[in-house]
């Protein structure tokens, strides 16, 4: 078998998340259907993560297998883009080692969350507008607290099937881009609903309802009920997934 990584992006507004499910159209389903049309047989794909309904990806990675080497990957990407809805775009398809895995081999993933306090008729579906003022300086003082912990049960969706709630966060902070504030977070893995729960809790800090020490206590409680309400999904974007370089160094004959 020959394995390939698909690099793609999508606007998640019309999709019920990434993963195939019986009650709505998903990104994974859309791509699998397009691949099956082009290659004339079912082609399962495995994504680097499982974004929730309404969440976007500026960069998602997925892998698929095919019996024969695909000679013109650029042409395959072009044909996929012709079949896929306007909400999904394939950037490129690259060969990888046969044992490379889009999900389990990822070194890190990076998300961005967009917040504004100013009404804008052009970005209201893509940025979370919050009334009133937020203390972003206090929110940034709370962010380094995340580096002191690995158990983020307080920010995890309840009753998931994961074996551990441990994650290593490498980067977290708010930066201003014009009228929009952007929260960037990078980690080796993320729990279900984790970024939105962290953002929602940091917003409580920004509103003055939670101190930096209080933010620490939320993490240490390992109790989802102690954290803030999850921020809405439409302002969340997966923006990067990184892998070891050796995954792209194909063995002779592959």
Q: Is 52 known to be catalytic? A: yes
Q: Is 124 part of any known ligand binding site?
A: no
Q: At a CB cut-off of 8 Å and minimum separation 6, what does 132 contact?
A: 117, 207
Q: Which of 52, 72, 99, 213 is catalytic?
A: 52
Helices 27-39 + 73-83 axis angle, to 10: 120
Residue 212: exposure state from Cβ atoms within 10 A (0-12, 13-18, ≥19): middle
56: left (phi over 0), alpha (psi -120 to 50) or beta: beta
Angle (nearest 5°) at CA 101 between 104 and 4: 155
Residue 241: exposure state from Cβ atoms within 10 A (0-12, 13-18, ≥19): buried
Q: Residues within the annotated binding site?
A: 111
* Residues in the annotated binding site for substrate: 111
> Annotated active-site positions, please?
52
């Amino acid at each position: 078998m020959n394995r390939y990584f698909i690099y793609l992006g999508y606007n998640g507004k019309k999709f019920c998340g990434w993963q195939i499910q019986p009650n709505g159209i998903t990104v994974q389903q859309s791509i699998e259907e397009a691949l099956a049309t082009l290659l004339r047989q079912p082609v399962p794909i495995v994504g680097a993560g499982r974004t929730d309904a309404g969440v976007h990806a500026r960069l998602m990675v997925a892998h698929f297998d095919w019996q024969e080497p695909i000679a013109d990957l650029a042409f395959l990407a072009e044909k996929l883009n012709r079949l896929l809805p306007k909400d999904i775009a394939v950037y490129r398809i690259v060969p990888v080692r046969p044992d490379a895995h889009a999900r389990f081999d990822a070194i890190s993933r990076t998300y961005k969350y967009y917040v504004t306090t100013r009404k804008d008729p052009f970005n209201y579906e893509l940025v979370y507008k919050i009334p009133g003022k937020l203390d972003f300086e206090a929110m940034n003082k709370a962010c380094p607290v995340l580096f002191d912990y690995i158990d983020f049960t307080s920010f995890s969706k309840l009753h998931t099937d994961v074996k551990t709630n441990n994650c290593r966060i490498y980067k977290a902070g708010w930066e201003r881009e014009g009228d929009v504030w952007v929260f960037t977070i990078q980690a080796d893995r993320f729990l279900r609903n984790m970024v939105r729960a962290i953002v929602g809790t940091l917003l409580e800090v920004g509103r003055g309802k939670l101190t930096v020490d209080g933010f620490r206590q939320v993490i240490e409680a390992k109790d989802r009920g102690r954290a803030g309400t999850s921020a809405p999904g439409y302002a969340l974007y997966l923006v990067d997934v990184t892998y070891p370089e050796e995954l792209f160094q194909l063995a002779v004959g592959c």
